[in-house]
């Protein structure tokens, strides 16, 4: 099992959710967040307090899937979330050790 975390533009969320559902991927967790990438944040002082001027609102989508799905989903996310402009986002993939469906006690892939 792998966890795919995609940080994307908020306006791409609905389209991505639909595309994932079409591929049979239904389980996901979505977070509203702020971030900056390689253009970095720069800090200015406003009334003595540091203010990050380019922390941009983003959406983080987290999916746990089986290993065989990962490459296809990366392609799908890139296709949907890409505009070609800086700030399109980033995808991280992590190993997942275990998943438990609380209702039934099922574990592993059958619980995903």
Q: Which residues bind Mg ion (CB under 5 A)?
A: 37, 39, 86-87
64 binds ligand ATP (CB under 6 A): no
Report the residue closest to Mg ion, judged by CB.
37
Binding partner of 62, given ligand ATP, Mg ion, none, CB within 5-8 angstroms per partner class: none
The single-letter DSSP state of residue 79 is: H
By three-state DSSP, how is residue 19 classified? helix
Can you list the positions of beta strands (E) in the chain?
2-8, 29-35, 43-46, 49-52, 56-65, 89-95
Range in contact with ligand ATP (rule: CB under 6 A) among 24-32, 65-73, 75-83, 84-92: 84-92
The single-letter DSSP state of residue 46 is: E
Beta carbon of residue 25, minimum distance to ligand ATP (angstroms, whole number): 21
Binding partner of 108, given ligand ATP, Mg ion, none, CB within 5-8 angstroms per partner class: none
The end-to-end CA distance of the chain, in Å, is 9
């Amino acid at each position: 099992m792998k966890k795919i975390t995609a940080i994307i533009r908020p306006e791409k969320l609905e389209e991505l959710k639909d595309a994932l559902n079409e591929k049979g991927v239904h389980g996901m967790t979505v977070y509203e967040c702020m971030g900056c990438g390689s253009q970095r944040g720069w800090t200015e002082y406003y009334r003595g307090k540091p203010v990050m001027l380019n922390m941009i609102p983003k959406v983080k989508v987290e999916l746990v899937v089986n290993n065989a799905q990962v490459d296809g989903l990366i392609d799908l996310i890139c296709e949907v979330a890409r505009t070609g402009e800086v700030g399109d986002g980033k995808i991280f993939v992590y190993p997942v050790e275990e998943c438990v469906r609380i209702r039934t006690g099922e574990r592993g892939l059958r619980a995903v």
